[in-house]
Amino acid sequence: MRKGDLGMKNRPWTGFLLTALPVAFLIIFVGVPMVGALLYSLGDAGGINSAISQIGLDQVISHHGLTLKVYSGLIRTPAFVEDLIATIWVTIACVALIVVISWAIALYMRFATGFGARILSVLYVVPMFIPVVISSYALVSFWNDGGFVAAVMSHLGFPNFPSPGYTLVGIIIAQVWASLPFAALMLSSGLKGIPDSQIEAARDIGASGISLVWRVLVPQNMLSTIIVITFSTIGILGSFTIPYLTGPNAPQMLGVAMYSYFSTYNEPQQSQAMAILLFLLSMGIGYFYVRANVRADRKGSLAR
């Protein structure tokens, strides 16, 4: 054991063997299926794909080399293109709302001390305690035609209130609801880490309100913000339960479309091609997520 290493033991095999278990699990049950899905979506029906290709309908099977026909077929399907576009704009709208609302909550929690702050500190974690299936159902029946919001609106003199249940807006309402605890926790734990002295110093030189937030707090809390943005983007891009229970029949978000193709239409090849597209979309985003973490950890303990 080397001194000054925080007592880290230098036994390469013990450490490797202990940590290899979850990594091996992930390689077998995430890595291998992903490679299989990639090959299958490119027309290869051998190996681990031979079982699934026995039952799939409308398949493209290439006996010589790989082909992009599944993907070009998807792109020529108008319904799929609509789904893809809907998925992307719903995701962008949700993430923008999540960032704004959770920043507001985090700021309020950082500076306010009264009754409001106490209420808020309990309130914003509530969605974390509710299983997503339940909250999706609760939200869609609350906002639906004939639901509670519509009833209140009709009492207030708006009988034709356009209820967002089973629309893309309904999906956004539910996604934001479910994502708030994580986002606000992340941001407020980041804000807590900024010392009061630094904020006082900025105030002494005349920074107030917006410029304090923009010039001091946002840059200091950038890592948390990036984690919130990337993590919510990935989560919402691939979400299933919320759009399945609160969204319209068409256009569907990709998570729901993947399921429909897999189970309802029995077209697993198209479904897996969508999964690959989804991975490509989120890999770009995931790169920023991991990089932001690795950068922030240069000073951290685990990098040693």
Partner 1 sequence: MSQVIQPTIGLSTPSPRVRRLTWQQVLGKIASVVLIGLLTVYILGPLLVLLIWAFAKEWFYPALLPQAWTLSWWQTIFSTGNFGHSILLSFLIAPVVTLATAAICFPAAYGFSRYRFRGRWTMLISIFAINSFPKMGIYITLAGFFYGLHLIGTFPGVVIVQMLGTIVTATWIPTAAFSAVPRELEEASRDAGAGAIRTFMRVTLPSAKPGLIIALILTFLSSLDEAQGTFIVGAPYYQTMPVVMYGLVNGYPEQAAAVFSVLLTLPSLILLLFVRKYIIGGAFASAFRLH
Footprint of partner 1 on 262-301 (CB under 8 A): 262-263, 268, 271-272, 274-276, 278-279, 282-283, 285-287, 289-290, 293-294, 296-297, 300-301
* Pattern 29-68, partner 1, x by CB under 8 A: xx-xxx-xx--x-------xxxxx--x-------------
Minimum distance of partner 1 from residue 249's CB (angstroms): 12
Q: How far is CA 28 from CA 20, 22, 31, 102, in A?
A: 12, 10, 6, 37
Cα separation of 52 and 153, whole Å? 50
The whole-angstrom distance between residue 87's C-alpha and the CA centroid of its chain comes to: 12
Minimum distance of partner 1 from residue 296's CB (angstroms): 7
Q: Cβ(1)–Cβ(14) under 8 Å?
A: no
Binding residues among 70-99 for partner 1 as defined by CB under 8 A: none
- In 142-219, at which residue ranges do the beta strands (DSSP E only) sit? none
Binding residues among 158-197 for partner 1 as defined by CB under 8 A: 177, 180, 182, 185-186, 189
User: Which of 71, 166, 259, 265 touches partner 1 (CB under 8 A)?
Assistant: 259
Binding residues among 197-236 for partner 1 as defined by CB under 8 A: 203-204, 208-210, 212-213, 223, 227, 230-231, 234-235
Binding status of residue 11 toward partner 1 by CB under 8 A:
yes
55 vs 65 by CB, closer to partner 1:
55
User: Which of 170, 238, 247, 251 touches partner 1 (CB under 8 A)?
Assistant: 238
Q: Cβ(67)–Cβ(42) under 8 Å?
A: yes
Cα separation of 56 and 110, whole Å? 54
Number of residues that bind partner 1 (CB under 8 A): 132
Angle between helices 268-296 and 222-237 (to 10 degrees): 170
DSSP 3-state of 240: coil
